[in-house]
Amino acid sequence: MSVKHRDALIEMWRSRILRESPTTAALHLVAARALGDADVRADPTVTAMIESWVQERDAELTHEQGEREAELNAQMRPPDPAPLRVGAAAPPPVSADPALLTIQRLTDELRLHLKNFDEHQAVATLARIHKLREEASHGITPEQLTALARQVAELTEHKLRVESEIDEAQEAALAAAVIGDETLLEHGLRRLAAVHVKYPRILTDGKFEELRERIVAAGAEFEHRQAARRLVDRERALAVEIKKLAEAVHRFHDAARTLPHDADEFRRMDVAYNRVLRDLSGHDAEWFAGVILELTDLLAEAEDPAPEAARHVDRFVASVRSALSKIRREIAEIERESHSP
């Protein structure tokens, strides 16, 4: 599958998965269609991408369903009745300590940053809590502060491990793409997709797409090199074929000029020469047109080849035409000499 076809296939199914999955049941249906597509099954890279999007969308739907249920439960819960105390006066409002409220708010923010794997904000919020603790000397115990600092340190270590796993998976996928190893490429993309689903705030959508495009580009470069190699190999084979014909004709021409025509060696060379003539008869205009089409197709496989590559093919075709013309002129010369006294 070409890179352009693969990208179009990926974009088509990604759009369908997002558009046609308002519920989990609908998601399962569109996922079954996507993974059952013949082109998808034939390409492990596309399969891995679709599986990752399905997992991510399933997680989103589960989260949205949980939020809706929590909101519905909150709406249906009756308000707590106020205690009825006959003759009792309402208690005076308690004035909250501003420093204590600020530390509590910052502590809640810190827990949210930890949950979201936001290391930068977590470290900044912890520093603000430290500063308030030094100024107010209350609101949070040293043990609580130590526990928060430990959680931030654990977050940093965990994020480094996840980022290291991302780097390893990316390098493995890139290396596989460069050498055209589909098995290792699929494994690397699956690792990246798994990290993206599990830690979407570390390997974000934008970063994941950037890595995927880089890997696809590396695979495209391999495909271009392979296409160029096939073109060069075919040109070499044609060049060898034409060269053998030319050398065989020239050897017989020399023999016809130097050897007695009744000699055994000449008779053997005459038999070989007639085989060459039969082979050469197959190198007619139709054969030549087929060669041009074949080389053009091989050039097109490179996708957006450089202008110099196209000019090179043109020069090679011209050289084949010239070599065949030279061979036929020498054959005509042999024919004339054989009839001359």
Q: What is the pLDDT of residues 1-47, one digit of tens each?
A: 666 677 778 878 888 888 888 888 888 888 888 888 888 888 877 78
State the pLDDT at residue 104: 77
Residue 131 belongs to some domain of the structure = yes
Residues with Cβ within 8 Å of 241's Cβ and at least 6 positions away in sequence, in order, are none
pLDDT at 58 over 80: yes
Whole-number Å distance between alpha carbons of 225 and 227: 5
Residues 215-229: tens digit of each pLDDT: 877 877 776 667 777
Whole-number Å distance between alpha carbons of 302 and 286: 25
State the pLDDT at residue 201: 78
Gyration radius from the chain CA atoms: 38
Six-digit token pair at 340? 């001359």
> Per-residue confidence at 93, pLDDT binned at 50, 70, 90?
very low
Residues 122-179: tens digit of each pLDDT: 888 888 888 877 776 656 778 888 888 888 888 888 888 888 888 888 888 888 887 8
Whole-number Å distance between alpha carbons of 178 and 215: 9
Do the Cβ atoms of 195 and 166 come closer than 8 Å? yes
Same domain flag for 334 and 240: yes
How many structural domains compose the chain? Answer: 3
Whole-number Å distance between alpha carbons of 34 and 43: 12
Six-digit token pair at 138? 């209350």
Residues with Cβ within 8 Å of 334's Cβ and at least 6 positions away in sequence, in order, are 249, 252, 253, 256
> Per-residue confidence at 306, pLDDT binned at 50, 70, 90?
low
State the pLDDT at residue 302: 62
Name the domain boundary from 29, 53, 68.
68
Beta strands in the chain (DSSP E): none
Cα-Cα end-to-end distance for the chain: 64
Whole-number Å distance between alpha carbons of 173 and 238: 37
Residues 180-226: tens digit of each pLDDT: 777 887 788 888 888 887 778 788 888 888 888 888 778 777 766 67
Residue 212 belongs to some domain of the structure = no
Residue 221 belongs to some domain of the structure = no
CATH number where 329 lies: 1.10.132
Residue 137 belongs to some domain of the structure = yes
> Residue 305 is part of which domain span?
226-339
Residue 81 belongs to some domain of the structure = no
Same domain flag for 155 and 63: no
Q: CB neighbours (10 Å) of residue 178?
A: 15
Residue 118 belongs to some domain of the structure = yes
Across 290-302, average pLDDT: 77
> Per-residue confidence at 84, pLDDT binned at 50, 70, 90?
very low
Residue 80 belongs to some domain of the structure = no
Residues 320-331: tens digit of each pLDDT: 888 889 999 999
> Per-residue confidence at 87, pLDDT binned at 50, 70, 90?
very low
Residue 87 belongs to some domain of the structure = no
> Per-residue confidence at 95, pLDDT binned at 50, 70, 90?
very low
In this structure, is the dihedral angle defined by the CA atoms of residues 329, 330, 332 and 336, taken in order, positive or negative? Answer: positive
Six-digit token pair at 64? 């949205």
Same domain flag for 329 and 242: yes
Whole-number Å distance between alpha carbons of 141 and 107: 12
State the pLDDT at residue 145: 81
